[in-house]
Amino acid sequence: MARMKTPVTLCVTSGKGGVGKTSIAVNLAFALVQKGQRVLVVDGDLGLANVDVLLRLSVQRTICDVLDSGADPLESVIYLEESLGILPASSGVPEMVTLGPEEQAQLGEVLTSIMSHFDYVLVDTAAGIGPSVLWFNRFVDHNIILLSPDPTSFTDAYALIKILSRDYDRDYFYVVFNLVSSEREGRQSYKILEGVVNKFLDVDIEYLGAIPQDKVIHKAVREQLPFVQQAPQSNAARAVFDLADRIRMLKEKQD
């Protein structure tokens, strides 16, 4: 009998809001699907969901409903394409953000029960360092820290890495810079982060690339469409396709 494949699980996380987590996570999913992978996007912003808005989805049942009612989680997954599932979250449900131990265990079971249908599970996390953000970061195999070259984004990303390493035994982080003006700015910003992390923390970080500031993203958000489909030749889309290639290498390492 064929062995059940375990998917690669990743989360896109940052500490700070507004750095592009949702936009990049969603478009990365489309890019991976275009490369023949089966992908589940989990909206991990449990209290202020955005993935459904970004894709103009009509949501019937959210993660919260599954946890409340014990409904079949697979029925909550919205398939945009045969290989692309979205597990939506709720908006305006504060108790979901606190995510107590019981809900955490339940959420783990729910995700584990549907994961085997996919090659990749990509979690878009909330801003901040609340319980759900920390939980998703612990749940996944790989943490992608997404940040911009802004100093405030740096300090928030650094704080998140510090907490995850100190309190949750995470010791390896992938880093993606968003909103850069050039590839060079991405690499330079990474060097600065790497210097600080190596000096003060006992973790390893690895650069996965940079996404340029690009007006196609803004337009795509407004029109609620993925920019990798709307403007596949744009600089931002090309950078996301490159990122997808690098992420596929993680899977090759894991298999």
Instruction: Tell me 224's DSSP state.
Output: T
Site for Mg ion (CB under 5 A): which residue of 13, 14, 22, 178? 22
Residue 231 in contact with ligand ADP, rule: CB under 6 A: no
Residue 17 in contact with ligand ADP, rule: CB under 6 A: yes
For residues 6 and 146, give the distance between their C-alpha atoms in angstroms, rounded to a whole number.
Answer: 25
Helix (H, G, I), strand (E, B) or coil at 179: strand
For residues 209 and 215, give the distance between their C-alpha atoms in angstroms, rounded to a whole number.
Answer: 19
Residue 27 in contact with Mg ion, rule: CB under 5 A: no
Structure tokens at 25: 């996570």
Residue 137 in contact with ligand ADP, rule: CB under 6 A: no
Residue 210 in contact with ligand ADP, rule: CB under 6 A: no
Strands 78-81 and 84-87: antiparallel
Residue 38 in contact with ligand ADP, rule: CB under 6 A: no
Instruction: Tell me 188's DSSP state.
Output: H
Residue 153 in contact with Mg ion, rule: CB under 5 A: no
Q: Determine the interface stretch with ligand ADP among 1-9, 63-71, 111-119, 212-220 (rule: CB under 6 A).
A: 212-220
| Contact (Cβ atoms closer than 8 angstroms) between residue 16 and residue 178 | no
Site residues (vs ligand ADP, CB under 6 A): 14, 17-23, 50, 127, 178-179, 211, 213-214, 217-218, 221, 236
Site residues (vs Mg ion, CB under 5 A): 21-22, 50
